[in-house]
Amino acid sequence: MLIAEDDPIFRRVLQSWLQKWNYSVTALENGLDAWQLLQQDDCPPMAILDWVMPGLDGIDVCRRIRSHQQGAYKYVLLLTSKESKEDVVAGLEAGADDYLTKPFDVNELRARVRAGKRILELQGALVKAHTELQFEAAHDHLTGLWNRGAIMDLLQRETQRTVRIGEPLGVIMADLDHFKRINDSYGHPIGDAVLREVAHRLLASVRNYDYVGRYGGEEFLIVLTACAPSDLVATAERMRAFVSEKPVDTDVGPIPVTISIGLAAQHLSGLELPKGEELVRAADSALYTAKANGRNRVECAPESIAPSPARTSVLQ
Ligand code: GH3
Ligand code: MG
Ligand code: MG
Ligand code: MG
């Protein structure tokens, strides 16, 4: 809780009341100091501002708070000895949440501070719920990875960004091999556990500026940024090897897993802006080839690995 009040006696009285009610209080004597404190990230969420102060008055501080609104909401209680209606309206229009006219009853102050605290708590709960909703809207429930909509949005953004700054970009489509057999043999919950572990391994095998999403049931889309075309195959191969290196530990014992990978690289030479969906389509058809050629392998879309003349690269 912040108090800005230029009258030293009244400031001390306010401070001791609020401290008695268990609020932690920073008491300042002018509006400028208050404004400086309120700009800091960890500033108090509630401010009791005297209206008339030298330098910046309470109304000025209030206006600044509202026009620079960033971070958590700040609750402002304005103290005024002005009683006319217009002044009260001016105070509220400047962004104050509530006001008290001096001299005021100590119980009224206590009740109004409590009301402010309730509003801040509601506001905090709303922000938390909003943040959680935003996370849920962009993430897959089972694996915690980006969901299909989010990874496609990220891919679209990254294709445009990397073309603009002349960086290469690669897209990997990875699909679990014979995953249906795992479900059929051990049941869906064990299948889910395997999917979660594979998601975890894929995430662990990329750098933290790459993106891993769940594209569909047992299909993952990985967007590799700043990865030279010549490194893409090695990266994909590393992922493939990492996923299959150890069987997945489950409640029914260790289950071996392998993935097939289709890979496509953005053509930096192309004049047209590449579309995310085209890259995905190319990676998907390379994945189809990987399945047809025996699974647990990496295949590249034709012309992906420019400037190498090889059209298709097969690794095992
Ligand atoms: P392939 O090597 O050709 O990819 O064979 P596959 O068995 O992996 O492919 P198929 O497309 O035949 O089967 C995919 C299976 O993935 C079928 C579906 O039930 C399962 N699946 C999709 N989503 C989930 C999920 O969220 N949890 C579980 N446990 N299984 C899922
Ligand atoms: Mg004053
Ligand atoms: Mg599969
Ligand atoms: Mg599949």
Residue nearest to atom 5 of ligand 1 (CA): 178
Mutation test of ligand 1: which of 179, 288, 291 has the most ligand atoms closer than 8 Å to its C-beta? 179
pTM as predicted: 0.77
Cα 199 to middle of ligand 1, angstroms: 14
For residue 189, give the ligand 1 atom closest to its CA. 29
Q: Are residues 133 and 231 in the same domain?
A: no
Please report whether residue 316 resides in a domain: no
Residue nearest to atom 19 of ligand 1 (CA): 180
From 137, 171, 206, give the residue that closes a domain.
Answer: 137
Does ligand 1 come within 6 angstroms of the Cβ of 140? no
- Confidence at residue 272, expressed as pLDDT on a 0 to 100 scale: 58
**Other beta carbons less than 10 A from residue 184's beta carbon:** 11
Does ligand 1 come within 6 angstroms of the Cβ of 195? yes
Q: Judging by DSSP bridges, how do beta strands 219-225 and 46-50 pair with one another? A: unpaired
Give, as residue ranges, everything with CB less than 5 Å from ion ligand 4. Answer: 175, 219
| Domain that residue 68 falls in | 2-137
- Confidence at residue 17, expressed as pLDDT on a 0 to 100 scale: 96
Query: Which two three-digit tokens encode residue 218?
Result: 């047992």
C-beta contacts of 231-235 below 8 A and 24+ residues apart:
232/170, 232/263, 232/265, 232/300, 232/304, 232/305, 233/263, 233/298, 233/300, 233/305, 233/313, 233/315, 235/170, 235/172, 235/206
Query: Which two three-digit tokens encode residue 268?
Result: 């930096």
Q: Are residues 121 and 178 in the same domain?
A: no
Cα 117 to middle of ligand 2, angstroms: 24
- Confidence at residue 276, expressed as pLDDT on a 0 to 100 scale: 86
- For residue 91, what are the CA distances in angstroms to 154, 163, 277? 44, 51, 54
Cα-based angle 263, 167, 152 (whole degrees, multiple of 5): 50
**Other beta carbons less than 10 A from residue 54's beta carbon:** 10
Give residues with Cβ within 8 angstroms of 71, minimum separation 6. Answer: 41
Catalytic residue among 5, 29, 197, 218: 218
Query: Which two three-digit tokens encode residue 12?
Result: 């001390």
Cα 165 to middle of ligand 1, angstroms: 38
In the numeric block, the tokens 């100590």 are attached to 106
Does ligand 1 come within 6 angstroms of the Cβ of 219? no
Task: Locate all alpha helices (DSSP H) within 68-178, ordered by sequence.
Answer: 85-93, 106-138, 148-165
Q: Are residues 153 and 295 in the same domain?
A: yes
Please report whether residue 26 resides in a domain: yes
The span from the CA of 2 to the CA of 30, in Å, is 11
Domain with 21 in it: what CATH number?
3.40.50.2300
Cα 211 to middle of ligand 2, angstroms: 55
Residue nearest to atom 26 of ligand 1 (CA): 217
Residue nearest to atom 13 of ligand 1 (CA): 180
Please report whether residue 274 resides in a domain: yes
Q: Are residues 128 and 152 in the same domain?
A: no
- Per-residue pLDDT of the chain in tens (316 residues, 90 and over written 9): 999 999 999 999 999 999 999 999 999 999 999 999 999 989 999 999 999 998 899 999 999 999 997 788 999 999 988 777 788 889 999 999 999 998 889 999 999 999 999 999 999 999 999 999 999 999 999 999 999 999 999 999 999 888 888 888 999 999 999 999 999 999 999 999 999 999 999 999 999 889 999 999 999 999 999 888 788 999 999 999 999 999 999 999 999 999 999 999 986 555 455 578 889 999 999 999 999 999 999 999 987 654 433 334 444 4
Nearest ligand to the CA of 29 is: 2
Which parts of the chain are beta strand (E)? 2-4, 26-28, 46-50, 75-80, 98-101, 169-176, 211-216, 219-225, 248-250, 253-255, 259-265, 298-300, 314-315
- Confidence at residue 85, expressed as pLDDT on a 0 to 100 scale: 77
Nearest ligand to the CA of 179 is: 1
Number of domains within the chain: 2
Does ligand 1 come within 6 angstroms of the Cβ of 142? yes
Does the annotation mark 218 as catalytic?
yes
Please report whether residue 82 resides in a domain: yes
Please report whether residue 102 resides in a domain: yes
Q: Are residues 88 and 166 in the same domain?
A: no
Q: Are residues 109 and 206 in the same domain?
A: no
Q: Are residues 191 and 251 in the same domain?
A: yes
Q: Are residues 126 and 265 in the same domain?
A: no
Residues linked to residue 224 through DSSP beta bridges, in sequence order: 170
Please report whether residue 231 resides in a domain: yes
Does ligand 1 come within 6 angstroms of the Cβ of 179? yes
Q: Judging by DSSP bridges, how do beta strands 169-176 and 259-265 pair with one another? A: antiparallel
Does ligand 1 come within 6 angstroms of the Cβ of 12? no
- Confidence at residue 127, expressed as pLDDT on a 0 to 100 scale: 94
For residue 295, give the ligand 1 atom closest to its CA. 2
Q: Are residues 166 and 267 in the same domain?
A: yes
Nearest to 50 by CA among 23, 88, 93, 11: 11
